[in-house]
Amino acid sequence: MAAKTPSAVVTENLGSNTLYKVSFTDIDIGDTYESKILSATSYWCNGTDTAATTKEGIDVGYSQTTGVFTFSSGENNRTGDLYILAKA
């Protein structure tokens, strides 16, 4: 388990919300991303690589008190994009 640094972050303002697209190149089981976003209303992570197992998606948990996202991909060395919709 390690704190991950994204390879890219793109933001888009959507009225009173902000959509973040946070890209990662090496997600392992239990890795975390310290976003400092405490107002996320929705989030999901899409795998952008071909999974070695039958599980294509990357599960992600979120702590609203710390802004930390925790990945549970089912396998190591995944590439993916974390999408976060947050109140501006």
Q: Please indicate, yes or no, if residue 48 is contained in any of the structural domains.
A: yes
Within a domain: residue 3?
no
- The pLDDT tens digits of the residues spanning 5-48 come to 999 999 999 999 999 999 999 999 999 999 999 999 999 999 99
Q: Residue 80: which domain range?
A: 8-87
Looking at residue 62, its pLDDT comes to 98
**Domain CATH for 45:** 2.60.40
Is 1 among the domain residues? no
Question: Considering the domain boundaries, does residue 41 fall inside one?
Answer: yes
In a domain, 2, yes or no: no
How many domains, the chain? 1
Q: What is the pLDDT of residues 47-81, one digit of tens each?
A: 999 888 767 789 999 999 999 999 998 889 999 99
The DSSP-derived string for the chain is: --B---SEEEEEEETTEEEEEEEEEEE-TT-EEE-----EEEEEEEE-S--SSS--S-EEEEETTTTEEEEE-SSSSEEEEEEEEEE-
pLDDT at 7: 96
